[in-house]
Amino acid sequence: MPKRSSSRRSAGSRAVRRGLTAGGWVAVGTTALVIGSSLTAYGAYYDIYSNINQETIDTDAWDRPTKVEGALNIMIIGSDVRSGDNAEYGGEIEGERPDSLLIAHISPSYDGATLINLPRDSMVNMPACEASGDKPGMAAHYGMINSAMDQGGVQCQWQVVEQLTGIHIDHFVSVDFTGFKDMVDAVGGVDMCIPAPVDDPKADLTLDAGEQTLNGEQALGYMRSRYGQGDGSDLSRIDRQQDFLAAMLRKVMSGEIMSSPTSIYSFLGSVTDSITVDDELTVDRMTDIAIQMRQVDMGNIQFVTVPNGQAPEDANRVAWTQPDADNLFAAIANDTAIAEEEEEEAPEEEPQEEEEETPPVAPSDVSVEVLNGTDVNGLGSEVGSHLGAQGFVVAGSRNPDGEIPAETTVYYGTGFEGHAKAVAAELESATTAENPLLGGTVQLVIAGEWGGFKGEPTSGGGTDLPVDGKTAEAQESSCG
């Protein structure tokens, strides 16, 4: 039988500022559930399942949101407790504050999944929690969302997430550093595009630019890295980790891994010692979930961070933007496709005559991620380099995950229209559009009609690249 405990084991609790953020932990938890049922056919899953740690959660201790029939919501916790095999990543740290907190929503309505990141730095009004095991509990107060784990364990964190979001949580999965690293190695590494060289001593990470396969140790460093990439914020790191998640899901769901009992066994066997789940997440339940996940269209998986902005009381913390955050939570709680809601709200865009009222923003205050939606190899990296030379803070470049707009567009989160306009002003032809799901980093999505930068000549195809499609810098990093 699985190991049980009344409180979480020591090797599992924090994981975002110094540890893994959304993408890495979701990759561990979600992909394990996706392929779990495959092992039952070979009579091997029960053997692996016995290594998983379990914890009893008393969900009768608080008033719970209504559950939508058929929908599945899993709270995923990233853990960086520095003990046991994890001690090498910065020494032992007291307390249990998850650095990564996420809700994975699997929808029966539109055969899709939505992964919602709740930034660990979120300042929220937390409800009171009862004492649990060796945890003292806590009174209702205003504080960081991840402090609930330290005060009341997983049970308190579960209660806080449910009562803040109104989303019924069905199960939880927690994974630590060692499990993540071993899982990446078990699937033979993960292919990633690194848009620019990375040198981050704090994460023990050095990477060249370009397409490459990250092994477990490199992947762990990439997921932990904050100051060596982008603008150094947790939000830009979340964006990178969501890219990693997408790449990992593609690797795990590939025919080679899914069709091989040995590969599946190796994958799950590598992480079970580092996983903790609730005691209702049984073998049969995991099998049901895996079957449900197989119905999910890989092209219909959305990666979302709760709409947020700088907390008024602390520039190093974030506050959820309302009513956008509550609208997102309501869509998930009611199993409504987020994309459909955005289409309905689109006609209510601000009138054009109000555009000039947006105050100008200096490039140094703008964080921008470049998404290359064209067929020109290296264009994203080239555009990012140009913007960086103009003083913008470039949070990386990659290819878009979803639909590409008809024209080059700079998307911005609520309150960041001026940031988007500052980027658009550099371009020969671009429009701006609000995406309430974005945070403080705007996204420049380059479309097929890319016209280059203002005042600069373009070569064939309307880009600032030489005829062969690459500059010297782009040749160094041929991805994006």
pLDDT in tens, 402-412: 778 889 999 99
- Terminal CA-CA length for the chain: 47
pLDDT in tens, 347-395: 455 554 444 566 788 998 898 989 998 888 888 888 988 898 888 888 8
Of the ranges 96-105, 126-135, 236-245, the best mean pLDDT one: 126-135
- In this prediction, residue 103 carries a pLDDT of 93
Matching residue, tokens 């609208």: 327
User: What tokens were used for 332?
Assistant: 């998930």
Task: Place 157 in a pLDDT band, splitting at 50, 70 and 90.
Answer: very high
Strands 275-278 vs 100-107: parallel, antiparallel or unpaired: unpaired
pLDDT in tens, 250-278: 676 665 665 565 666 666 666 677 788 89
- Does pLDDT of 102 surpass 70? yes
- In this prediction, residue 479 carries a pLDDT of 59
- Sign of the CA dihedral running 422, 428, 433, 435: negative
- In this prediction, residue 231 carries a pLDDT of 62
Q: Which of these, 182, 40, 19, lies nearest to 101 by C-alpha position? A: 19
Asked whether 467 and 400 are in contact (CB, 8 A), the reply is no
Rounded distance, CA 410 to CA 370, Å?
9
Rounded distance, CA 128 to CA 148, Å?
9
Q: Which of these, 196, 191, 192, lies nearest to 381 by C-alpha position? A: 196
Percentage of the chain modeled with pLDDT above 90 = 24
Exposed/middle/buried for 339, CB within 10 Å: 0-12, 13-18, 19+?
A: middle
- In this prediction, residue 46 carries a pLDDT of 63
Asked: is 3-337 a CATH 3.40.50.300 domain? The reply is no
Rounded distance, CA 429 to CA 450, Å?
7
Rounded distance, CA 333 to CA 325, Å?
12
- Does pLDDT of 216 surpass 80? yes
Matching residue, tokens 């990543």: 89
- In this prediction, residue 81 carries a pLDDT of 54
CA 317 to chain centre: 18
Task: Place 336 in a pLDDT band, splitting at 50, 70 and 90.
Answer: confident
- The CATH 3.40.630.190 portion of the chain extends over 3-337
358-476: what fold?
Alpha-Beta Plaits (3.30.70)
Asked whether 3 and 54 are in contact (CB, 8 A), the reply is yes
Percentage of the chain modeled with pLDDT above 70 = 64
Rounded distance, CA 128 to CA 220, Å?
34
- The CATH 3.30.70.2390 portion of the chain extends over 358-476
